[in-house]
Amino acid sequence: MSVERTVRLAFSAVSRDAGTHTNLSAVRSDGPVLWVAGDETATLERLVADAPADPREYGRQTSFRLADLVELPGDDADEEADIEGLARTGPFLWAVGSHSLRRRRIKDRHDGDKALRRLARVTGQANRQLLVRLPLAQVDGLPTPVRELDADGARHCAAVFGTHGPDLRDLLADDEHLGPFLPIPGKDNGLDVEGVAVVGDRVYLGLRGPVLRGWAVVLELRPETDPGDPRRLVLRPFDDDGRPYRKHVLRLDGLGVRDLCPQGEDLLVLAGPTMDLDGPVRVYRWHGAARAETAQVVRGEQLTREVELPYGDGDDHAEGIGLLGTDGALLVVYDSPAPARLDDAGGVLADVVRLPAR
């Protein structure tokens, strides 16, 4: 793998203070703009390309608070939502939280019993338990999230799954594969949603964990607007077993899913370690994913390794992928970027790599 070039992402002082530029977890290209998210805020960020046909820099950042658009599950509207995936289709931008629990870290100043007590503490955050669908309006020539939009002869509202009624963790509580992993923190191979892709009415959620004896899991959902509340999403049951989700398992050489990105009827799968390790990091292609009508065991010719991505020693963790244009250029953003990716003016470098010709 060789990096074809880099693209500079420029962030405001407010976002730099919040650490967004060093905690990037999701990316999606959308014509002249780039949508990104950090995993320690409850906002989405819009960056504008310097040259839409061949961008070398994205800047002019605008932040959008999720709480200004939808009702969040948590009592604190600014509590982090741990957004781990973005998707763009039709008039909508989608975002998904990790749905994970977290274990306290042992820091350098902690020793003995205090360190062990921190390591024993597992907590959750309500705002992580959401799937959001936001309508986009054109405002001053740029796609902009709004609470309501009239488009295609219909009225679309910003809507969320997970705020009222059961959330995804509730639905998975009795699942024979995933239920036992719900009490486990995400970074310990517990439930951890880290990618979303939308194709038609299909919403795919990629799980970093759990990885089950080397098999990664992708959930397929069919969200639709609640007939009784246009600001709420409900899940349509699948015909084969009546469940509101369908499970697919992928043979990713023991890695978990870090992001998903549709390309035609295929899904590009960013894969990396589920535990606190640096690498390996790869992009796979799940061929014909959007044609699947039953639960899939994805291996062999259905799943090809496309690209090996770089990773550092304690840094440069690839967390998001997105297509740039239609010529097979893939943009990669990194959590915990290496110092060489950062500049004093608030910029961070993303990589552009080339996918093999299909």
Report the run of H or E that residue 306 belongs to, with start and end. strand 303-309
Q: Give the confidence band of 112 by pLDDT, cuts at 50, 70, 90.
A: confident
Kindly tell me if the per-residue pLDDT of 121 is higher than 80.
yes
Which pLDDT does position 40 carry in this prediction?
Answer: 86
What CA–CA distance (Å, rounded) separates 332 from 282?
A: 11
Domain range for 312: 3-354
What does pLDDT average to over the chain? 94
Which pLDDT does position 206 carry in this prediction?
Answer: 98
Lowest mean pLDDT among 13-27, 32-46, 104-118: 104-118
**Distance between start and end Cα atoms, the chain:** 17
- Give every CB contact of residue 117 below 8 A, 6+ residues apart in sequence: none
What CA–CA distance (Å, rounded) separates 229 from 275?
A: 39
Kindly tell me if the per-residue pLDDT of 276 is higher than 70.
yes
Kindly tell me if the per-residue pLDDT of 18 is higher than 90.
no
Residue-wise pLDDT tens digits, 311-342: 999 999 999 999 998 778 999 999 999 999 99
Kindly tell me if the per-residue pLDDT of 116 is higher than 80.
yes
Q: List residues bridging with 149 in a β-sheet.
A: 156
Cα radius of gyration rounded to whole Å, the chain: 19
If you search the block for the tokens 């990104």, which residue do you land on?
36
Q: Give the confidence band of 248 by pLDDT, cuts at 50, 70, 90.
A: very high
Q: List residues bridging with 64 in a β-sheet.
A: 44
Structure tokens, 237: 């049951």
Q: Find the CATH number of the domain harbouring 244.
A: 2.115.10
Which pLDDT does position 104 carry in this prediction?
Answer: 86
Which pLDDT does position 213 carry in this prediction?
Answer: 97
Overall domain count for the chain? 1
Distances (CA, A) of 87 to 204, 275, 306: 10, 25, 21
Instruction: Give the mean pLDDT of 36-45.
Output: 92
**Contact, 149 vs 155, CB < 8 A?**
yes
What SS3 state is found at 187?
Answer: helix
Which pLDDT does position 39 carry in this prediction?
Answer: 85
Residue-wise pLDDT tens digits, 153-211: 889 999 999 998 899 999 999 999 999 999 999 999 999 999 999 999 999 999 999 99
In terms of Cβ atoms closer than 10 Å to its own Cβ (0-12, 13-18, 19+), residue 301 is: exposed
